Amino acid sequence: MVGVANVSRIEQQSTVHGTEELVINMGPQHPSTHGVLRVILKLDGETVNDLDCDIGYLHRGTEKIGENITYTMFIPYTDRLDYIAAPSNNLAWVTAVEKFFDWEIPMRAQYIRSMVGELSRIASHLLWLATHALDIGAMTVFLWCFREREMVLDLFETAFGGRLTVNAFRLGGLHEDVPDKFLQLTQEFIDIFPSRIDDYETLLTNNRIWLQRTRDVGIISAEDAMDLGLTGPIIRGSGVSWDLRRAKPYAAYPYLDFVVPVGENGDIYDRYLVRIEELRQSTRIIQQCLEQLPGGPVTCKTPRTIKPPEGEIYHSIENPKGEFGFYIVSDGTTTPYRVRIRPPSFINLGGLKKLCVGQLVADVVAIIGSIDIVLGECDR
Amino acid sequence: MDMALEIAVAAIKIFIVLNVVQLVVAYTIYVERKVIAHAQMRLGPMRVGWHGLLQPIADGLKLFLKEDIIPDKADRIVFVLAPVMVLVPAFVVYAVLPFSATFYITQINIGLFFILAISSLGVFGIVMAGWASNSKYSLLGALRSAAQMLSYEIFLGFSVIGPLMLAGSMNLQEIVHAQSDVWFVFYQPIAFIVFFIAAMAETNRAPFDLPEAETELVAGFHTEYSGMKFAFFFLAEYANMFVVSTVGIVLFFGGWEGPDFIPLPGFVWYVLKLSVFMFVFIWLRATLPRYRYDQLMRVGWKFMFPLVMLNIFLTGFLKYLFL
């Protein structure tokens, strides 16, 4: 009876001096929501009790656009999905469409696709590291990363003319062969890049403050990550060795030797280590591509109008941010009947609530950074 | 007549110090931008004047001319008062700072105590700013700031006790004279470490800049401030950096006195030491990530507090044994 009386007294008190959750609106204009993500946080002091994501501020109806234009015309639109790593999106689209046909893509094109895909992975991971470190307060890493990202963008410019939206590949191969200067500059870049990764690591990897901010924060178990359908460095950080370059090889990946790094605890620090190791592995892959690069044509014989047979396909590749897939329904005409995009950012963002509840406000920023989202692809 | 002369001299001194401090603060911001820029492999301000040397003046002018916005739902009186409450204590403290053996505004026998007492008033302004803005970001920033500054004031206060026990005086001039043989930093390394960390936290500098953690709280307690009111917070932050640096120099590095074999005027020694301190502040900001709120508190209460207590005990014990 005493217990009951106490409880009712507490209830009475809490109605008199009622405490409320503090609802904070983070975004869409907020320095660290990485674009136009809006997060509505319910806070108890500094602890996050609940959160809600509001997305769609960058919705451009890309899927619908895809239904109204030809397969070739859609390639530049894919640039605008994950605009941090545009060539990867091109690669996903062209390999998806090519699945309708039995074209033999020349090996030179395959190797260049892999190489450019890895360069875009480096570009994407560098932007992630830059902004993630800045969110946690390490300013210098930000500009160091941009220095190297600039070099990668210069490489894209040399090869394809564009820097951010490169429109790199064509159905059946490449538009034209890359200039020799591109190969030479790529070699120069990967010669210096490993030492630059060491530079970033000296600032962060063993930094006590960085460890305190990232270790045991935003933990997700392998099981939960799989249930939520998370892909990319997040699930690898939780210890699941799932990489489509290994699981369902495309382009030149079957011939390339690389390690799929995995973490143990699934916290922010593990995701950080996984991505840093991926930077090194990408460098290795590019080196191998340069060494093994065969001669010959860069495009196969393709019909003037691309008319895939009636049917549907799903094809996905390992984008820097996770599994990036296209589901295409063809009705046998020159335009797709339906284009559906599986964006890794959108699905990975679904894990945000699971990662954030119970953590502090400062961690939310770190966790969003460690998921590595890009809203162009999330909102489509 | 003497009285009037004294007042006139004091007024001139105050005028000089205030203006010099403001100018130096403006140029410290310039130096900070330059140092951080070069750490990050960029140039920093380059456009206004030779190597951007007139940038601070252009910035000041811009802040003067900016529209002064007071949010609709803000508590107007408190909102306007808050920046003043932050800035005034930051400058009042300069009254007792010794810049050289002869150049200081005044000398009081509880100088150090006066500095601690006055500089702790600044936190009121920050809490007022956070509350009066009527913004959630400001409020969270102010709450963090209040907790942080109050906690670290305690460690700051305790860390100066060691040197005080050695010097046997609270008069800043006498503390400097007591170090004419050996700087106290060699006798009091623990106290210095705690003092330095607490000083960084006290001035809201990286890695303890969470009250204004721009990636989480936009700009913390001064989110809603613009124009000159914002400039006041900015000035106060840098003025406070000078204060804690000066206190650090006086307590641990022999103030304006340098080694005898290098004959330099006292004021030059002071400026040199101050520059080193400021450079370290800026350097750390360019290098380190930011602590989280609860970690900051843990570092303070679980690590620094026992350490500084141990230091006081050791100092007393050793002094009893050997002196």
Residue-wise pLDDT for B280-297, tens only, equals 888 888 888 888 878 888
CB–CB contact B293 A142 (8 Å): no
The C-alpha atoms of residue A62 and residue A74 are separated, in whole angstroms, by 9
The distance of A122 to chain B (nearest Cα, Å) reads: 20
How far apart CA A337 and CA A93 sit, in angstroms, is: 15
Q: Does A361 touch chain B (CB under 8 A)?
A: yes
CB-CB under 8 Å, A133 with B289: yes
The reported pLDDT for the residue numbered A17 is: 66
From chain B, pick out residues whose CB is under 8 angstroms from the CB of A46: 140, 144, 293-294
Contact B194, B159 (CB under 8 A): yes
| Cβ-Cβ contacts under 8 Å, B290 against chain A | 136-138, 209, 213, 362
Give me the residues of B, 222-261, that contact A with CB < 8 A.
none
What's residue A327's pLDDT? 92
Query: Does A175 reach chain B within 8 Å, measured CB to CB?
Result: no
C-alpha neighbours within 13 Å on the C-beta side of residue A117: 29
Is the distance from CB of A78 to CB of A285 less than 8 angstroms?
no
Contact A245, A195 (CB under 8 A): no
Contacts of A30 in chain B (CB under 8 A): 218
pLDDT over 60 at A2, yes or no: no
Which B residues, 25 through 64, put their C-beta within 8 Å of a C-beta on chain A? 36, 39-42
Residue B56, pLDDT score: 84
* Highest mean predicted confidence (pLDDT) among A71-80, B207-216, B233-242: A71-80
Alpha-carbon distance A209 to nearest alpha carbon in chain B (angstroms): 6
Q: What is the pLDDT of residues B131-180, one digit of tens each?
A: 888 888 888 888 888 888 888 888 888 888 888 888 888 888 888 878 77
- Structure confidence at residue A377 as a pLDDT band (50, 70, 90): confident
Nearest CA in chain B to A21: B136
Q: Of A257, A228, A170, A258, which Cα lies nearest the Cα of A371? A: A228
Mutate to test the interface with A, among B136, B148, B292 (most CBs of A within 10 A): B292
Question: Quick check: A11 pLDDT over 60?
Answer: no
Enumerate the β-bridge partners of residue A323. Answer: A318
Greatest mean pLDDT among A109-118, A293-302, B124-133, B142-151: A109-118
Q: Which residues sit opposite A44 in a β-bridge?
A: A47
User: Nearest by CB to B288, which of A30, A138, A364?
Assistant: A138
Is residue B102 within 8 angstroms of chain A, CB to CB?
no
Q: For residue range A137-190, list pLDDT tens digits in order.
A: 788 888 888 888 989 999 989 888 888 888 888 888 888 888 888 889 999 998
pLDDT value at A8 more than 70: no
Is the pLDDT at A12 greater than 70, yes or no?
no
Query: DSSP code of B183?
Result: -
Q: Measured between CA atoms, how close is B156 to chain A, in angstroms?
A: 21
* Window A:211-230, CB contacts with B under 8 Å: 212-213
Least CB-CB distance to A24: which of B40, B136, B290? B136
| Nearest by Cα to A327 from A55, A67, A105, A83 | A67
Question: Which residues of chain B are within 8 Å of residue A137 when distances are taken between CB atoms?
Answer: 206-207, 209, 213, 215, 288-290
How far is the alpha carbon of B54 from chain A, nearest alpha carbon, in Å? Answer: 25
Percentages helix, strand, coil for chain A (3-state, rounded to 5) are 50, 15, 35
DSSP letter for B134, please: T
- How much is the pLDDT for A1? 38
Q: What is the mean pLDDT of chain B?
A: 82
A151 touches chain B (CB under 8 A): no
Alpha helices in chain B (DSSP H): 2-39, 55-65, 76-92, 111-119, 122-132, 136-159, 161-167, 172-178, 184-187, 189-202, 214-217, 227-252, 266-287, 293-298, 305-322
Stretch among A273-282, A349-358, B197-206 having the lowest mean pLDDT: B197-206
Instruction: Quote the pLDDT of residue B212.
Output: 65
Quick check: A137 contacting B, CB < 8 Å?
Answer: yes
Given a cut of 70, whether residue B98 has pLDDT beyond it is yes
pTM given for the model: 0.84
Q: Do B292 and A363 touch (CB under 8 A)?
A: yes
Find, among A126, A180, A186, the residue nearest to A156 by Cα.
A186
Cβ–Cβ gap A362/B39 under 8 Å: no
Give me the pLDDT at residue B247, please. Answer: 87
Residue B211 pLDDT > 70: no
State whether B215 and A133 contact (CB < 8 Å): no
Mark yes or no for CB contact B292/A24 under 8 Å: no
Confidence at B1, pLDDT banded by 50, 70, 90: low
* Range from A9-18, B147-156, B229-238 carrying the lowest mean pLDDT: A9-18
Q: Is B323 on the interface with A (CB under 8 A)?
A: no
**Out of A24-33, A319-328, B83-92, B147-156, which region has the weakest mean confidence (pLDDT)?**
A24-33
What is the rounded average pLDDT of the residues A54-73? Answer: 88
Decide if A137 and B206 are in contact by the 8 Å CB cutoff.
Answer: yes
Q: Which percentage of chain B shows pLDDT scores above 90?
A: 0
CB of B290 less than 8 A from some CB of A: yes
- In angstroms, rounded to a whole number, what is the distance separating the alpha carbons of residues A372 and A299? 34
Spatial contact of B168 and B178, defined as CB atoms under 8 Å apart: yes
| Chain A positions in Cβ-Cβ contact with residue B197 (cut-off 8 Å) | none
Contact residues for B156 (Cβ-Cβ < 8 A; gap 6+): B116, B195, B198, B199, B202, B244
* Residue A370 pLDDT class (50, 70, 90 cuts): confident
Task: Tell me the per-residue pLDDT of B261-283, one tens digit each, with 9 for 90 and over.
Answer: 777 777 788 888 888 888 888 88
Q: What is the mean pLDDT of chain A?
A: 85
Any idea what DSSP says for residue A21?
P
